[in-house]
Chains A and B, each alone.
Chain A
Amino acid sequence: MSPETVTITVNGSRRTATAGGHLSLLRWLREQAGVTDPKYGCGEGVCGACAVLVDGLPVASCIVLAAQVDGCEVTTAAGLRRPDGSPGPLQRAFHRSHAVQCGFCTPGMLVCATALLAEGRPLDRQEIREALHGNICRCTGYGPIVTAIEAAQHELAAGAEGGAEPS
């Protein structure tokens, strides 16, 4: 069986588009589904710029075929807003902490940080750093990103409403 088209629910919308069998999920999202917030950074799964959630788990979309996730739910950074479109604790923390400079790593960072926070384990700054080792940022020096995740963790633990849940 060789699917030429796949149907993937992207940020809550079912999308059906050609996958050619060989298209990576990253290319399928960017070229077929018009979802351009996951980025091409390296093509090898190392840099984190292409990270998306597949059924809630972070993957490197450049090294997953669209055909492999036919029928799955994919969430990108753009889909991490609250159902009403407002930014959740993580996005607001990124904003306050100045965790964004050029912004190219930001979508992948948000996706991976969301998954990390969803695990529910309380993490200190060093543990956050170690968990983020797979997300390269060349601009910020990482400190503000760690601060943002720490702040969001704190807010979520304090029981603030909702969170950066996939929509």
Chain B
Amino acid sequence: MYTRAFRYERADDLPAACAALRRHGEGARVLAGGQSLLPMINVGLAAPEVLVDISRVAEAREITASDGYLSIGALVTHRELIASEVARAAQPLLGAAAAHIGSARIRNRGTLGGSLAHSDPAAELPVVMTALGASYELTDGRAEREVRAEEFAITVFTTELQPDELLVAARVPVLGPGWGWSFREVSRRRGDFALASAAALVRTAGGILVEARLALGGVADRAVRLAAVEAALTGATRDEIAARVGPIEGISPVTDTGASAEYRRHLARVLAVQALEEACARSEGTVSGERGP
């Protein structure tokens, strides 16, 4: 079995963690929930020399809403995000997407920051953050900076984070009344990685789509925002959505053991339409009990 020893250091706070990362250099990895990193270590796909554990620091655990923004600490677990009334009131899309992550065991430990930093192209939270136009607060222990979600992910498993930087929080703009949301995903089994996913937000007025946001996951090396599709939908009724969404451009799905690139491309369009239609219905209030914020 792969049971390689590594050194372990528990950080007292985020600045100490950043300092530890600087001290240890390339062989160090951050341990938060560990639900992506530890499986990789267990099967021999990762072999860090040092793990810097931030899972017990007191910071970055809050979910607050103020001044039109929802702020979610990087160490908030998926379970906490789903259970948060503040988050649900501000933006139900987040909890709805997080509910697709793994199993309850995974959601009890996995964190928002961990998921965003790991940057799996099929992960749910990067997709919704991209659709929502969120931005992330980063720290290196000495200074903070803000990066927009769309620019944060660079490619597979690669982000803007410098070797000594950590995510502190995600800032999500709270959309006003009239917006509906939807998250749709196809996976082989419940809880599996998505073969493809779509996050949509739609604002309607008098049955006409005024504004749309659409992001897809699992069909490129990171979540992609489909600005062209969004533009083409302005002025559409719900029934016209399917016709207005043409072939999806700007995606580059891959073939793996889960699905072929062609099937993912097919799903991209199917899920985009489904998500847009559902978000439209929520915006119009025709999905019972789930009126948008």
The answer on direct contact between A and B (beta carbons under 8 Å) is: yes
Give the A-B contact count at a CB cut-off of 8 A. 98
B189 adjacent to A64 (CB under 8 Å): no
Q: Assess whether A105 is interfacial by the CB under 8 Å rule.
A: no
A58 adjacent to B55 (CB under 8 Å): no
Given the known interface contacts A58-B105, A112-B104, A134-B191, the answer about A63 and B8 at a Cβ–Cβ threshold of 8 Å is no
Within 8 Å CB of A134, what residues of B? 102-106, 191
Q: Assess whether A131 is interfacial by the CB under 8 Å rule.
A: yes
Within 8 Å CB of A54, what residues of B? 108
Within 8 Å CB of A24, what residues of B? 38, 42
Q: Which residue of chain A is the closest to B39 with respect to CB atoms?
A: A44
Q: Assess whether A83 is interfacial by the CB under 8 Å rule.
A: no
Within 8 Å CB of B38, what residues of A? 24, 45, 62-65
Write out, one digit per residue, whether chain A residues 1-33 have a CB within 8 A of any chain B CB (1) or not (0): 111000000000000000011101001000000
Given the known interface contacts A20-B5, A58-B104, A59-B108, the answer about A65 and B53 at a Cβ–Cβ threshold of 8 Å is yes
Given the known interface contacts A64-B38, A65-B38, A67-B8, the answer about A45 and B53 at a Cβ–Cβ threshold of 8 Å is no
Q: Assess whether B6 is interfacial by the CB under 8 Å rule.
A: yes
Q: Which residue of chain B is the closest to A67 with respect to CB atoms?
A: B8
Within 8 Å CB of A51, what residues of B? 105
Q: Which residue of chain B is the closest to A57 with respect to CB atoms?
A: B108
Within 8 Å CB of B43, what residues of A? 43-44
Q: Assess whether A96 is interfacial by the CB under 8 Å rule.
A: no
Within 8 Å CB of A130, what residues of B? 190
Among A43, A112, A116, A135, point to the contact of B42 (Cβ < 8 A): A43
Q: Assess whether A68 is interfacial by the CB under 8 Å rule.
A: yes
Among A22, A64, A135, point to the contact of B6 (Cβ < 8 A): A22
Q: Which residue of chain B is the closest to A40 with respect to CB atoms?
A: B1
Q: Assess whether A152 is interfacial by the CB under 8 Å rule.
A: no
Among B3, B6, B12, point to the contact of A27 (Cβ < 8 A): B3
A130–B1 alpha-carbon span in the complex (Å): 31
Within 8 Å CB of A60, what residues of B? 35, 105-106, 109
Q: Assess whether B22 is interfacial by the CB under 8 Å rule.
A: no
Q: Which residue of chain B is the closest to A44 with respect to CB atoms?
A: B39
The dominant DSSP class at the A interface is mixed
Among A48, A57, A63, A112, point to the contact of B34 (Cβ < 8 A): A63
Given the known interface contacts A44-B42, A58-B108, the answer about A68 and B9 at a Cβ–Cβ threshold of 8 Å is no
Q: How large is the interface on A (under 10, 10 to 19, 20 to 34, 35 or more residues)?
A: 20 to 34
A65 adjacent to B105 (CB under 8 Å): no
Interfacial residues of chain B within 218-276, with CB under 8 A of chain A in the complex: none
Q: Which residue of chain B is the closest to A43 with respect to CB atoms?
A: B42
Within 8 Å CB of A1, what residues of B? 9-10, 12
Among B3, B56, B109, B190, point to the contact of A64 (Cβ < 8 A): B109
A48–B105 alpha-carbon span in the complex (Å): 8
B104 adjacent to A2 (CB under 8 Å): no
A162–B4 alpha-carbon span in the complex (Å): 43
Q: Assess whether B76 is interfacial by the CB under 8 Å rule.
A: no
Given the known interface contacts A45-B39, A130-B190, A133-B190, the answer about A65 and B8 at a Cβ–Cβ threshold of 8 Å is yes
Least Cβ distance of B248 to chain A in Å? 29
Most buried by A among B5, B34, B43: B34
**Extra contacts besides A2-B10, A60-B35, A133-B190 (19): CB < 8 Å:** A1-B9, A22-B6, A43-B1, A43-B39, A45-B35, A51-B105, A57-B108, A58-B105, A58-B108, A60-B109, A63-B35, A63-B39, A64-B34, A64-B38, A65-B31, A68-B56, A112-B105, A130-B190, A134-B191
Task: Identify the B interface with A (CB < 8 A).
Answer: 1-10, 12, 31, 34-35, 38-39, 42-43, 51, 53, 55-56, 79, 102-106, 108-109, 189-191
> Can you show 30 pairs from A to B with CB atoms below 8 A apart?
A1-B12, A2-B8, A2-B9, A21-B8, A22-B4, A43-B2, A43-B39, A44-B39, A44-B42, A45-B102, A48-B105, A58-B108, A59-B105, A59-B109, A60-B109, A62-B42, A63-B39, A65-B8, A65-B38, A65-B53, A67-B10, A68-B53, A112-B105, A116-B104, A131-B104, A133-B103, A133-B189, A134-B102, A134-B105, A135-B103
